[in-house]
Amino acid sequence: MISARHAMLRQAQEYFHALLLGVVRWDDVEVDKAIPVPSVRGQRDQGTMRDLVVARFNGFKMELAGPFEDERWPLGRISVVRGPWSIEGPLDAVTWQRVAEFVKEQKAKGDGDGDIAGGTDWGR
């Protein structure tokens, strides 16, 4: 059986190939090591953790959160940050399209303005 983390990574890779071909190569994406995310207090049915994938590419930081008992994100959540700009939404095809447009727009502005979105020393 495939884990939610691997399913989210496969979905991200598929959308990168379909929507960002020629803009961002999947080979440029660095995926952070898996870390458990604690459950939300008061939601016993959620379990002890949910899956979270953090990836970085070309000054962008992308987070994919697996689905859990939250009416705002029943399919999971995706957020992409570059510098002070960000986009967020449910993990669905419409949001992936919006994310692709956001990435293309930010890339058109230039590569030098997004390095504060993440990295190994981010927040220090």
Q: Output the pLDDT for position 21.
A: 92
Q: Which pTM value belongs to this model?
A: 0.74
> pLDDT tens digit string along 59-74?
999 999 887 656 677 7
> pLDDT tens digit string along 85-100?
999 999 899 999 999 9
Distances (CA, A) of 63 to 17, 87, 116: 18, 11, 15
> pLDDT tens digit string along 6-64?
888 999 999 999 999 999 999 999 999 887 666 666 655 555 446 889 999 999 999 99
